[in-house]
Structures are given as structure tokens and as C-alpha cells.
Amino acid sequence: MDSITFDKFEQVDIRIGTVTFAEVPEWSHWVMKLKVDFGPEIGEKQCFSGIMKFYKPEDIVGKQFPFIVNLEPRKMGPEKEVSEAMMIMAAPGDELPESEAEETPPVLFQLQDKVPNGTKVR
């Protein structure tokens, strides 16, 4: 694993957001499309997350999760929709053979207490 400087780490903007909408796009076999409220400073962002195989939209709507909000936008799917953030989760199974790892659900980080949308993670 390569090391990064503390200065580079400080460039990563991790914020708490509430998922306000979630759906599985017709074209998707893996990702779920999310709308996430990051509060008045950042507003709402669209995010695609590879959790569809293990979670349903109703499992995550209304819940808060950490996201990286300052990644360069990435186009997704045949309609080239923009993903503007990245959901942070634990990905157990990386040490397993690929066939087993694909069957291991990611663990979503949930807060013990509700915080204002847009709260920075440090």
C-alpha cells in the first residue's frame, strides 16, 4: 500500500448526508442511484453506489451515511448520468477469492446519533 501525505488526506472532504431518494436504474445490474442532502452549504448531490445486490432503496432512504463530496464527477450508465459523490463503506471480502468476495455484502457505516447534513468527518 502506498502512503500519502497528511496534506493530501486533508484534501478529501468527507461529509455526512441523508439519502432522500434511492432507485435502481433500468440499465443497472449493480449500482443504485441516490440523491443525498448535504445541507445548505453543499446542497443535494447525486451518487451511484454499488450496493444494489445487497440492499433495497427502502433500506437506506432517510438514513445518514458518510460520503466523499469533492471527487471529480463521473459519468455512469448509458445515459451518462453524473455521480457527484462516493458513499464510504467497509468492503469485507477483499481477502477472499473473487467469486466469494462478490457475494459478501458491504457494511454501511451508520451514525449512532443524527447530525446536521453536511457535517464534516475528521
Per-residue pLDDT tens over the stretch 43-83: 999 999 999 999 999 999 999 999 999 999 999 989 899 99
Q: pLDDT category, 30, cuts 50, 70, 90?
A: confident
Residue 97 CA to chain centroid, in angstroms?
24
For the domain with range 6-108, which CATH number is right: 3.40.30.10, 3.40.50.10140, 3.40.1180.10, 2.40.50.140? 2.40.50.140
Of 12, 78, 20, the residue nearest 47 (C-alpha)? 20
Q: Kindly report the pTM of this predicted structure.
A: 0.89
- Distance from C-alpha of 5 to C-alpha of 61, rounded to nearest angstrom: 35
Residue 115: its pLDDT value, please? Answer: 97
Residue holding cell 447534513? 117
Is pLDDT above 80 for 94?
A: no
- Distance from C-alpha of 34 to C-alpha of 20, rounded to nearest angstrom: 8
**Average of per-residue pLDDT values in the chain:** 92
